[in-house]
């Protein structure tokens, strides 16, 4: 029923024979890869055999597309604060106690959102496999890499690095979502300090959105506009409610809108 509703309201067609709902396309100077991160998801995996087969084929096609930029779209960010330590605490919180608490004080309400993250122990090996797959494409093709995500109710930017290779991660919240509370934002800032060594040669860093005030998160309703230059440059603008836009550029020449 969920698949039928998805295809009807978001794809405008009947459910196809394939079990995978990913999309891969080229647009302007970019190859865009949007994997299906739901159809095969369980508590222990994000993608199954069919999903990984599709993704490897999509990345292989992007590698020979001749495009300068690869845009990878993930429903949850590839690089965020280190929330994984909360996963076992929230999922293991006694349900009989949670039922006695007011909704606002019930930590169980966040359990599924936290377990959805790439970094939790259940998904860690699959997450590393994905990061290596993207970085290997960059090594092979010299394509510039960008990951687009939402999910945290805040605007943010992070980088994933392996040697000289960089994946830029841009995060924008759902535009109707209320911003997180100041306490939650403070906690996110605290978790986001410094460089996080992920695995041998890979590390991630939450970058400043407001360097002057050392803030890594945009606490406002926001939406993201992205321009990709013909040679792989990036210009990103977070447009925010009741706040100044936040911009980031790593441009090597005049951008062409995506």
- What pLDDT does 257 receive? 44
Give the per-residue pLDDT at 243. Answer: 84
CA–CA separation, 77 and 16 (whole Å): 28
Using an 8 Å Cβ cutoff, are 167 and 91 in contact? no
What are 174-197's pLDDT values in tens digits? 788 888 888 888 888 888 888 888
**Strand, coil or helix: 95:** helix
197 or 207, greater pLDDT: 207
Q: Indicate the range of 18-22, 106-110, 182-186 predicted with least confidence.
A: 106-110
What is the percentage of the chain residues whose pLDDT exceeds 70?
84
Query: What is the rounded average pLDDT of the residues 240-255?
Result: 76
Dig out the tokens for 99 from the structure.
């039922």
Q: What is the pLDDT of residue 172?
A: 92
* In the predicted structure, residue 201 carries a pLDDT above the cut 80: yes
pTM score, two decimals? 0.86
Task: Decide which of 106 and 129 is more confident.
Answer: 129
- Burial (Cβ within 10 Å: 0-12, 13-18, ≥19) of residue 18: exposed
* Residue 191: predicted pLDDT: 84
Q: Write down the residue that tokens 């494409």 correspond to.
A: 137
The DSSP 8-state label assigned to residue 179 in this structure reads: P
């Amino acid at each position: 029923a969920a698949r039928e509703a998805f295809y009807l309201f978001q794809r405008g067609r009947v459910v196809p024979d394939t079990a995978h709902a990913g999309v891969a396309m080229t647009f302007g100077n970019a190859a865009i890869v949007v994997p299906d991160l739901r159809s095969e998801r369980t508590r222990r995996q994000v993608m199954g055999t069919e999903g990984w087969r599709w993704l490897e084929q999509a990345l292989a096609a992007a590698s020979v597309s001749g495009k300068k930029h690869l845009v990878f779209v993930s429903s949850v960010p590839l690089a965020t604060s280190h929330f994984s330590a909360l996963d076992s605490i929230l999922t293991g919180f006694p349900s009989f106690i949670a039922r006695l608490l007011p909704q606002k004080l019930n930590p169980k309400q966040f359990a599924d959102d936290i377990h959805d993250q790439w970094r939790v122990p259940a998904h860690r090996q699959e997450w590393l496999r994905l990061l290596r797959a993207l970085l290997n494409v960059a090594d092979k093709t010299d394509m510039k890499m960008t990951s687009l995500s939402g999910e945290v109710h805040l605007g943010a930017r992070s980088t994933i690095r392996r040697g000289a290779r960089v994946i830029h991660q841009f995060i924008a919240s759902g535009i109707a979502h209320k911003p997180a509370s100041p306490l939650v934002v403070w906690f996110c800032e605290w978790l986001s300090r410094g460089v996080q060594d992920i695995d041998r040669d890979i590390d991630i860093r939450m970058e400043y959105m407001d360097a002057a005030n050392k803030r890594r998160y945009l606490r406002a309703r926001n939406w993201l506009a992205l321009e990709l230059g013909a040679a792989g440059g990036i210009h990103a603008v977070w447009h925010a409610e009741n706040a100044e836009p936040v911009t980031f550029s790593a441009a090597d020449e005049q951008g062409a809108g995506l």
